[in-house]
């Protein structure tokens, strides 16, 4: 129970990596404030945590809504107290080569992968500052954690993913800025950049889950089966990662052992770094 009593906020927690992150943090004692665009899987994760003896509440809805960050942080303050851990995980991919990428498509990727985390962290800034000030006045040194999710696409680019790559690169800049701004509040702000992780977004094209619905839009997701085979051959560990392994990388940056690590990018990619 390394995180006993901590208040953790996780976006996109109803499926895949987000679900695994939520379950991992709850298993280590954190109280969870979860978000999921689709309410049903979010409710199921909350029930699963409760069934294991944990505590969780759900704030359903679109993280890109202008008021979402304020509502999300307010739910944490109402139910559990000042945020101790914030994981900006919500995301999806909407790919195309640049000449076929509409403004709406590009802007949707920036809104989701960069602007939404910015608004959540901005909303959390004052409660965290006030708590840090109280703790410092009483002689305490309490560390808090922000883990933003990026991708190898954000570090090195990825053909057909101009919007996604730009958003995931931007979150690295935001992370390093906040590491400098929030160090005085004892907040560690880091990035986990995922490589090829098995989720519904990376399933083979042609599978039952190769189209998702986002705000009334049908968005094609998935990877060509031949490319999956080639990609796994390039990964030094020899296979794609699992959602639980991805969650483990996030968890590492939420533990006390990371108290002097900030502004860093940790690649969770099985050794693939291109």
231: which residues sit within 8 A by CB, 6+ positions away? 196, 223, 240, 272
| The pLDDT value given to residue 207 | 64
Catalytically annotated residue among 164, 185, 251, 260: 164
Q: pLDDT by residue for the chain (274 residues), tens digit each?
A: 899 999 999 999 999 999 999 999 999 999 999 999 999 999 999 999 999 999 999 999 999 999 999 999 999 999 999 999 999 999 999 999 999 999 999 999 999 999 999 999 999 999 999 999 999 999 999 999 999 999 999 999 999 999 999 999 999 999 999 999 999 999 999 999 999 999 988 877 776 566 777 777 777 777 778 888 888 999 999 999 999 999 999 999 999 999 999 999 999 999 998 7
260 flagged as catalytic: no
| The pLDDT value given to residue 117 | 98
> May I ask the CATH architecture of the domain 7-198+241-268?
3-Layer(aba) Sandwich (3.40)
| The pLDDT value given to residue 209 | 61
> Could you tell me the pTM of the whole model?
0.95
| The pLDDT value given to residue 179 | 98
Name the burial class of residue 159, with classes exposed (0-12), middle (13-18) and buried (19+) by CB atoms within 10 angstroms of its CB.
exposed
Note the pLDDT tens digit of each residue in 169-217.
999 999 999 999 999 999 999 999 999 999 988 877 776 566 777 777 7
Note the pLDDT tens digit of each residue in 17-45.
999 999 999 999 999 999 999 999 999 99
The answer to whether 113 and 153 have CB atoms below 8 angstroms apart is: no
The answer to whether 192 and 152 have CB atoms below 8 angstroms apart is: no
| The pLDDT value given to residue 208 | 57
């Amino acid at each position: 129970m390394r995180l006993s009593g901590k208040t953790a906020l996780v976006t996109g927690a109803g499926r895949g990596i987000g679900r695994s992150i939520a379950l991992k943090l709850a298993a280590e004692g954190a109280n969870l404030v979860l978000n999921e665009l689709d309410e049903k899987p979010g409710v199921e994760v909350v029930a699963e945590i409760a069934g294991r003896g944990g505590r969780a509440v759900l704030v359903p809805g679109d993280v890109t809504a202008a008021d979402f960050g304020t509502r999300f942080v307010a739910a944490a303050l109402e139910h559990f107290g000042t945020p101790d851990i914030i994981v900006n995980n919500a995301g999806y991919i909407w790919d195309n080569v640049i000449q076929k990428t509409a403004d709406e498509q590009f802007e949707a990727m920036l809104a989701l992968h960069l602007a939404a985390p910015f608004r959540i962290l901005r909303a959390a800034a004052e409660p965290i500052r006030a708590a840090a000030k109280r703790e410092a006045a009483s002689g305490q040194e309490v560390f808090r954690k922000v883990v933003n999710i990026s991708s190898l696409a954000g570090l090195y680019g990825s053909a057909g993913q101009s919007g996604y790559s730009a958003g995931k690169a931007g979150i690295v800049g935001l992370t390093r800025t906040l590491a400098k701004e929030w160090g005085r509040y004892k907040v560690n702000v880091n990035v986990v950049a995922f490589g090829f992780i098995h989720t519904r977004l990376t399933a083979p094209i042609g599978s039952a889950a190769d189209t998702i619905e986002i705000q009334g839009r049908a968005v094609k997701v998935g990877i060509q089966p031949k490319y999956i085979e080639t990609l796994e051959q390039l990964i030094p560990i020899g296979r794609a990662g699992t959602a639980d392994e991805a969650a483990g990388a996030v968890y590492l940056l939420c533990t006390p052992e990371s108290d002097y690590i900030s502004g860093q990018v940790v690649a969770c990619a099985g050794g693939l770094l291109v």
